[in-house]
Amino acid sequence: MPTYQYSCTDCGHFFEAVQSFSDDSLTVCPECDGKLRKVFNAVGVVFKGSGFYRNDSRGTTTSTSPAASPSESTPAPTKTESAAPASTAAASS
């Protein structure tokens, strides 16, 4: 059974109550007979089982990144420095 949290709008009393889903919400504070308000909190998310990871749920052909432009897919040509011919280097020394 779920645990619900309540807070009194008059006296600020805060408490938890274990109730069934079919039970009506509490409306009267047990401390001062004031009006109760149900408190909602963020819940922790628990991933169990397969299919929650990127590599579990997708094929290898699917890509999340946009398609690369042609200039990005081919590397830029690199310039190579040509060495001086050995015959001219030997002649100048």
Does the global pTM surpass 0.85?
no
What pLDDT, on the 0 to 100 scale, is given for residue 44? 80
What pLDDT, on the 0 to 100 scale, is given for residue 41? 83
CA distances from 35 to 3, 15, 29, 32, 82 (A): 19, 13, 6, 9, 89
**Closest C-alpha among 47, 38, 46, 31 to residue 16:** 38
Confidence at 33, pLDDT banded by 50, 70, 90: very high
| Domain spans, the chain | 3-39
- 8 within 8 A of 31, measured Cβ to Cβ: yes
Predicted confidence (pLDDT) at residue 67 exceeds the cutoff of 90 = no
Alpha-carbon span 39 to 8, nearest angstrom:
10
Predicted confidence (pLDDT) at residue 89 exceeds the cutoff of 80 = no
Share of residues in the chain with pLDDT > 70 (%) = 52
Confidence at 43, pLDDT banded by 50, 70, 90: confident
Of 1-5, 11-15, 47-51, 75-79, give the range with the top mean pLDDT: 11-15
